[in-house]
Amino acid sequence: GAVVSQHPSWVICKSGTSVKIECRSLDFQATTMFWYRQFPKQSLMLMATSNEGSKATYEQGVEKDKFLINHASLTLSTLTVTSAHPEDSSFYICSARVRGRNTEAFFGQGTRLTVV
Amino acid sequence: DAKTTQPNSMESNEEEPVHLPCNHSTISGTDYIHWYRQLPSQGPEYVIHGLTSNVNNRMASLAIAEDRKSSTLILHRATLRDAAVYYCILVQGAQKLVFGQGTRLTINP
């Protein structure tokens, strides 16, 4: 089946620095990718929809200047957490769906971000 | 987004069938019913999806009520590796997936 790969799997960064997370669709083209974050013991919260060649669509309450999303190609979307703070520590997950209706979503393995 | 309701947790025994319920009384005619599961510290994994008819695949079966206001995910013979959080999600076309709280399934050896 289709595969979505995230990198890195985990990252530790200092407060105030920026961190970039990559999401790749390995064997299909993804015009749209989705970014989620998940806190311990909670469900996934949709942050934004990443559209290839255009601006991302952010969910209400998500700061677009803090969570920069770039979707420059049909197989790669990146999420950059800018000026990270300890409260940004979370599990970030990307997802993509094969183009077409009624298809399943594929998820990356997630990135554990810890800001110290 | 149409909402789904699932029990917070369920428990079953290894090698027994498991029936995970989901209520979606406000489902629209174009909503597909998707099921995903998430193991600890991993991204979610697709399980199955359907529209009106019951569906079977190698992982599970999906039974959809005739009025489509509820559905049941059936794991025919649970193993310890099936312990996960199971999410029932209504999806329109190629739209985003919005996750609810899901059901935490525990499998006893």
Residue for token digits 């420059």?
A: A72
- pLDDT tens figures, B1-18: 569 999 999 999 999 999
Taking the CA of residue A100 and the nearest CA in chain B, the distance in Å comes to 7
- pLDDT higher than threshold 90 for residue B59: yes
Neighbouring residues of B37: CB distance < 8 A, sequence distance ≥ 6: B44, B45, B47, B82, B84, B85, B86, B87
| C-alpha–C-alpha distance, residues B26 and A33, integer Å | 26
Percentage of chain A beyond pLDDT 70 is 96
Q: How far is B100 from chain A (nearest CA, A)?
A: 7
pLDDT interval class at A72 (50, 70, 90): confident
Whether A49 sits inside 8 A of B96 (CB atoms) is yes
> Which chain B residue lies closest to A42 (C-alpha atoms)?
B101
Specify whether the CB–CB gap between A3 and A26 falls below 8 A.
Answer: yes
Beta-sheet strands, E only, within chain B: 9-13, 18-23, 31-38, 45-50, 55-56, 61-64, 70-75, 84-92, 103-108
Phi, psi of A55 (to 5 degrees): -70, 150
The first and second tokens of residue A6, run together, are 């995230």
Left if phi > 0, otherwise alpha if psi is -120 to 50, otherwise beta: which for A74?
alpha
Per-residue pLDDT of A41-60, as tens digits, reads 999 999 999 988 888 999 99
Beta-carbon separation of B46 and A106 below 8 A: yes
> Tell me: the pLDDT tens digits for B66-98?
999 999 999 999 999 999 999 999 998 778 899
- B-chain residues near A112 (CB < 8 A): 41
* Partners of residue A34 in chain B, C-beta under 8 Å: 96-97
Neighbours of B82 (CB within 10 A): 19
| pLDDT confidence tier of residue A92, bands split at 50, 70 and 90 | very high
Nearest CA in chain B to A10: B41
User: Could you tell me the two tokens for B23?
Assistant: 């209520």
Instruction: Tell me what pLDDT residue A1 has.
Output: 62
Interface test with B, best of A41, A43, A92 (most B CBs within 10 A): A43
Q: What is the DSSP letter of A1?
A: -
More confident call, A97 vs B103:
B103
pLDDT (0 to 100) of residue B1:
59
Nearest to A38 by CA among A91, A80, A79, A81: A91
